[in-house]
Amino acid sequence: MFEIAPHLALILIGVAFVAGFVDAIAGGGGLLCVPALLLCGASPLQALATNKLQGTVGSATALATYAQAGQIRPRAHLPMALVSLAFGAGGALVAGAMPAGLLRLIMPPVLIAIALFFAFKPGLDDQRRKARLSSTAFGVLIVPLIAAYDGFFGPGTGSFFMMALVLLTGLGILQATAQTKMLNFASNFGGMLVFSLSGAMWWWVGGAMALAQVAGATLGARLAVKVGARLIKPLLVLTSSGMALRLLWQALG
């Protein structure tokens, strides 16, 4: 049975709240939660599994908030979501089969690369663009790649979905963000199902973080139109880069 000091548990709950808020607006909440779990003593597989538990609840909350606001009709995107669920589960199977030592070496550089993506990704607006792919082609060619990445690792998935929807299907950023929540929820759920069978899940820690995610995601989704991502992105980049460098130092020490 895993035991964690109360102050570390409180830190993880606080991180989950911030991650839920950030993820609902800009994506990338896992960039905060995964390093925080690792720094609190989780193995790479435990961190990925526990992050998937709390992230699933957070993405479901954001999805419900966007649907209630009329920004998305879940039934219309169900086929694409089922693809995302299946490949999210497949990615988690690959992560579960990978040696822990290899995961520990891979994760810090990947986190730093994603942080750089956040730092330099182009600004987006809510104007519709010319679609380069149909919804069917997007579901067949793009969703499996991003969903499999989500199941295998996860941080940054929401931003990747959003960027792909804007650049390839022509959606405005608000519509893309809303649709992203459904695809991200599906891939999270698929990964969570696999990880829950692995025995690596920190259930009570993930459950407490999930409650914080609900609060953060609800607030973030409601403020998405007014706040945007510009105020959050610098903090997300600095925090995730700092934690990733700390993890890399630990792995090589």
Q: Which two tokens stand for residue 127?
A: 């104007």
Q: Report d(CA 177, CA 179) in Å as an integer.
A: 6
Neighbouring residues of 249: CB distance < 8 A, sequence distance ≥ 6: none
Residue 203 and residue 197 in contact, taking contact as beta carbons nearer than 8 Å: no
**Whole-prediction pTM value?**
0.78
pLDDT of residue 1: 47
Neighbouring residues of 63: CB distance < 8 A, sequence distance ≥ 6: 72, 74, 178, 181, 182, 185
Residue 124 exposed, middle or buried by CB count within 10 Å (0-12, 13-18, 19+): middle
pLDDT of residue 37: 92
Q: Report d(CA 159, CA 178) in Å as an integer.
A: 12
Q: Report d(CA 16, CA 98) in Å as an integer.
A: 26
pLDDT of residue 17: 94
pLDDT in 10s for each residue of the chain, 253 residues: 456 788 898 999 999 998 888 777 766 677 788 889 988 988 888 999 999 999 898 889 888 888 887 878 888 889 999 999 999 999 999 988 887 677 767 767 776 776 676 667 655 555 566 788 888 999 999 999 999 999 988 877 877 887 788 888 888 777 887 888 899 999 999 999 999 998 888 999 999 999 998 998 888 877 765 655 555 556 556 666 666 676 667 666 5
Q: Report d(CA 95, CA 115) in Å as an integer.
A: 21
Distances from the Cα of 225 to the Cα of 101, 179, 206, angstroms: 42, 15, 29
Residue 139 and residue 79 in contact, taking contact as beta carbons nearer than 8 Å: yes
Task: Give the residue from 116, 37, 108 showing the smallest Cα distance to 252.
Answer: 108
- Count CB-CB contacts under 10 A for residue 244: 24
Residue 236 and residue 104 in contact, taking contact as beta carbons nearer than 8 Å: no
Q: What is the longest distance spanned by two Cα atoms in the chain?
A: 53
The SS3 call for residue 182 is helix
